[in-house]
Every structure is written in C-alpha cells, then in structure tokens.
Amino acid sequence: NAGVTQTPKFQVLKTGQSMTLQCAQDMNHNSMYWYRQDPGMGLRLIYYSASEGTTDKGEVPNGYNVSRLNKREFSLRLESAAPSQTSVYFCASNRGGVQETQYFGPGTRLLVL
C-alpha cells in the first residue's frame, strides 16, 4: 500500500500565483486533514474533512480552500499565494472517529517568493 501520497514534493511560486496541492490515500479512510509546519510553530491544522462531502476549518484556514473530491482525495488550494504561506504542508488521514491513529504523507515543501 502507498498509504498517503502528496504531490508535488516541492514547489516555488511567485506572490499572487495560485496552485493546488494534491493528497490521496488508499486506506479507505473516512477523515482527511491538511496541516502546515513552520519552524518554531509546530504543526497547525488548516482544514479537515471528517467524511466525504464535508469540510471544516481548522486553526489557520485563511488564504486556503479545500475540496474533498471523493473518499480518496483531498486537495488544498492557494488562490493567491503570499510569502507567509511558505511552509511544509502535510496531509493526513484516519478511519474517522476520535480513537484513531492519523497517518501522514511525506509533505509538500512550498516556497513563495
């Protein structure tokens, strides 16, 4: 099993450009999450999808949109990138419910100039 996959691995954008980060899981998980990791800040939740067809804001949603395309895929979109969005983005998934382990993808490193 591939687990949680993310594309691209690395991206450089100019301020104002848009892009979509892709995430897919092959574990038949119900819930999916997007986090960002910044030096000295730890990981922070951007958006999550508790089940197919639902999405909710996390701690730091401003400047982002998400789409739960189907049960496998959860994308994160930056409509107009800003230097403050330079970060490493991680997607995670679990079966759903509060007792379940979260599984993480390898991350997307984004640099906004």
Partner 1 sequence: KQEVTQIPAALSVPEGENLVLNCSFTDSAIYNLQWFRQDPGKGLTSLLLIQSSQREQTSGRLNASLDKSSGRSTLYIAASQPGDSATYLCAPGGGADGLTFGKGTHLIIQP
Residues in the site for partner 1, rule: CB under 8 A? 4, 31, 33, 35, 40-45, 48, 50, 56, 58, 90, 92, 96-99, 101-107
User: Nearer to partner 1 by C-beta: 14 or 98?
Assistant: 98
Phi, psi of 29 (to 5 degrees): -80, 150
* CA within 13 Å, CB half, 94: 12
Closest CB 22 distance from partner 1, rounded Å:
15
User: Nearer to partner 1 by C-beta: 14 or 28?
Assistant: 28
User: Nearer to partner 1 by C-beta: 71 or 103?
Assistant: 103
User: Nearer to partner 1 by C-beta: 17 or 73?
Assistant: 73
Burial class of residue 91 in the structure, from the number of CB atoms within 10 Å of its CB (0-12 exposed, 13-18 middle, 19+ buried):
buried
Give the angle 89-93-95 at the CA atoms, nearest 5°.
Answer: 170
- Distance CA(100)–CA(89), nearest Å, equals 21
Closest CB 74 distance from partner 1, rounded Å:
13
